[in-house]
Structure 1
Amino acid sequence: MIRRAGIALVCGTLLASGCGAQIAPPAAETTVTVQRCGESVQYTRPQRAIAYEGGSADKLFSLGLTDRVRGYVMPPANPPVSESPWAAEYAKVDMLSDDLLNKEIVVDAKGDLVVAGWNSGFSDRRGITPEILDGLGIGSFMHAESCFNYPGFPERHRPFDGLYVDLERLGQIFGVEDRAAAVITELRQRVAAATRDVADAERPRVFLYDSGTDQPFTAGQQVPPNDIIEYAGGRNVFADLEARWTQVAWEAVVDAQPEVIMILDYNDQPAQEKIDFLRTDPKTKELPAVKANRFFVLDYNEGISGPRNVDGLERFSTYLQDLER
């Protein structure tokens, strides 16, 4: 890992900069007990954290923890890190893999903490779980939003609340509580500003299209896009589904008659390909949103748990306001 020689002389906002934490190296035996999906876990201050996907890395970088990040694993769905608000921080650490997270990557990199989500990084099937890492003496941190379907120690948060919980807990683990509190305050202020002008009038029906042609994957109530849609003034047509990312039938989409379609933009499944499909497929081409050309493209890292959720909210709030005008 490339360590920074010092703190940058000038910082922008807290979120857009990795500077400002000025963390003194902690004592080797410093420990703290923090909740992990409802389970009390004792952590030693990490020095070689590994982040899976942009949301995990963004949380660490937003807290000024670049010097404690060993590297990141970035699967093909993620847009290039050069497009990130924290591009300069990504450049200071190693990209460990462009594939899915596995135990071998972590062990080879001598990581001491893995930050990921349940079923979005950690996986029984791929043999990398918190329990397995605990047995190897390697810490693990799971996004609170993903605890919804983690077995054994359930925990449930609204997705945006889960983001704040994660930043608070990471602040405790790394000993940067004040920095975490400041970042959370800024995010809350931005959310409040983005929702200030949301009207109580009838909300437009919004369908999030993640992927899939035979059957679409979409957002239930337990993932960030649901909060983005609701806070911006829309109504997720599948908000009643107590699920995270889930599969539905096209018939249910047609029955919902969405007025706006939010497209999740993967690096390896571009939004335009999905829009072209919706415009030509007999099942979807007559939907109100398609006929009115009401497509909103949500960046992948605005849709998974991370600080960029608020970027997505701000953009979608503006989009809906422009539609009203």
Structure 2
Amino acid sequence: MVKNKSLKRFLAILTITGLSLSVVGCSNNSNNKSETPASSVEASNFETIEFVYSDGAKDYDVKVDSPRKKAVTLSQFMTEMLLALDLGDKMVGTALLDNHILPEFEEDYKKIPELEVGEGHSISKEAFLATGADFVSGWDMSISEQTTGSPDELIEKGITPFLAASYKSDATIETVYEDFELLGKIFDVQDKAKEVIDNMKDDIKVVTDKVGEVKDENRVKMMVYDSGEDKAMAVGSGLANNLIELAGGNNIFSDQNQPYINATWESVVAENPEVIIVTDYLAGSPVEEKIEFLKNHPALKEVDAIKNDRIYVVGLADLSPGVRNSQVIEKMYGYFYGENK
């Protein structure tokens, strides 16, 4: 009987001890889990992204195995695209503003280190590499051997080179959405990308519903003048042209196969645009000077846009890919048909 009581007591102690060890073991496992780097957890849940980066001369296969954490943006449109995706805390460098940053992004933008721009509007390779970037994007000329390292070199270092597809000559607003979707995957913020796209679609639909009531023959003939005196640098095909179409405009140079063309003044006179939109940007001549030049150009005095003083202004960043696109569509519709005309 004594033996049985002793055995029961021993078994009880063993059980309690086992439970204690089990709890300690669980606690240790829990601690181990908490020490696992967040990036490792994210990487394990990240679906590998593959896409092609092209510099115009060669195509490069790019693979992204984990969410990008340190982005450098070398164009305003890409800077604002990432800020729209709430990625300000993952941006380690930026440069090359075309216009003042959108007010809603100012606070986050001020926190991003600004890279010094030298001759030819380029940054130094040393300054770029010092950021520790694992993602870089901007204009087509932003990524080069001199400024960031060649695409091959970047890929070898684990740095993702990216060029927005909406920069191409056949781009439309749908291409902008595709860029946002891909960026959402690269930075693992797909839900935010969908939110941005849905908001843009809703805003644009408000305008296109009104444009649908305008007959094709009644669409406003217009052109976008960027710069130039001997010839006019003007919008041809591509995204900017599609934005004009969505706003209800008829771009007189829409049949060209390049986003920007050098048009003769004779061709402008022959097409006789009713509206001229002038692009404004920080690096160019003051927009007031460009408007004054158009108004005093002897060849343009009989053009309807000049005679009726229908010259309006948009930012260069407005016509570049990104969140501004829905806003500029609404603005241009106002110029063409609304209270702003």
- Partner of residue 163, structure 1: 176
Whole-angstrom distance in 1 between the partners of 2:337 and 2:223: 17
The percentage of counterpart residues that share the same residue type is 27
Asked whether the equivalents of residues 115 and 141 of structure 1 are also in contact (C-alpha less than 8 Å), the reply is yes
Stretches of structure 1 that go unaligned for 5 or more consecutive residues are: 1-23, 149-155
- Partner of residue 163, structure 2: 142
Asked whether the equivalents of residues 195 and 317 of structure 1 are also in contact (C-alpha less than 8 Å), the reply is no
- Partner of residue 17, structure 1: none
Whole-angstrom distance in 1 between the partners of 2:93 and 2:147: 20
- Partner of residue 306, structure 1: 322
Greater RCO between the two (CA within 8 Å, min separation 6)?
A: 1
1:15-54 matches, within 5 Å, as 26-27=39-40, 29=43, 32-37=48-53, 40-43=61-64, 44-54=66-76
Asked whether the equivalents of residues 232 and 313 of structure 1 are also in contact (C-alpha less than 8 Å), the reply is yes
The answer to whether structure 1 residue 293 and structure 2 residue 316 are counterparts is no
Q: Aligned to 1:80, what secondary structure does the other structure show? A: coil
* TM-score normalised by structure 2 residue count: 0.77
Deviation at 1:131, TM superposition (A): 3.5
Q: Are residues 238 and 124 of structure 1, via their aligned partners in 2, closer, same or farther at CA, if it must alter by over 3 Å? A: farther
The answer to whether structure 1 residue 130 and structure 2 residue 151 are counterparts is yes
- Partner of residue 266, structure 2: 251
Q: Aligned to 1:272, what secondary structure does the other structure show? A: helix
The answer to whether structure 1 residue 231 and structure 2 residue 223 are counterparts is no
Asked whether the equivalents of residues 237 and 256 of structure 1 are also in contact (C-alpha less than 8 Å), the reply is yes
* TM-score normalised by structure 1 residue count: 0.81
Whole-angstrom distance in 2 between the partners of 1:258 and 1:68: 44
Deviations along 1:244-276, whole A, 9 cap, x unmatched? 122222222121111100111112322211100
- Partner of residue 321, structure 1: 337
Whole-angstrom distance in 2 between the partners of 1:309 and 1:80: 16
Whole-angstrom distance in 1 between the partners of 2:294 and 2:100: 26
Q: Counterpart of 2:195 in structure 1: which amino acid?
A: A
Q: CA RMSD in A?
A: 2.5
Asked whether the equivalents of residues 51 and 73 of structure 1 are also in contact (C-alpha less than 8 Å), the reply is yes
Deviation at 1:123, TM superposition (A): 5.2
Deviations along 1:184-236, whole A, 9 cap, x unmatched? 111111111111111125211111001111111111111x3212211111101
- Partner of residue 30, structure 2: none
Q: Aligned to 1:193, what secondary structure does the other structure show? A: helix
Whole-angstrom distance in 2 between the partners of 1:258 and 1:128: 44
1:156-235 matches, within 5 Å, as 156-158=170-172, 160-198=173-211, 199-201=214-216, 202-222=218-238, 224-235=239-250
Query: By percentage of residues, which structure has more helix?
Result: 2
Deviation at 1:282, TM superposition (A): 1.3
Stretches of structure 2 that go unaligned for 5 or more consecutive residues are: 1-36, 55-59
Deviations along 1:15-59, whole A, 9 cap, x unmatched? xxxxxxxxx953375562232358652113211100112110111
2:100 pairs, out of 61, 65, 80, with 80
Deviations along 1:37-96, whole A, 9 cap, x unmatched? 586521132111001121101110111111111121125xx1233x54311110121111
Q: Counterpart of 1:46 in structure 2: which amino acid?
A: R
1:106-121 matches, within 5 Å, as 106-119=128-141, 121=142
Q: Aligned to 1:97, what secondary structure does the other structure show? A: coil
Whole-angstrom distance in 2 between the partners of 1:57 and 1:172: 17
Asked whether the equivalents of residues 33 and 40 of structure 1 are also in contact (C-alpha less than 8 Å), the reply is no
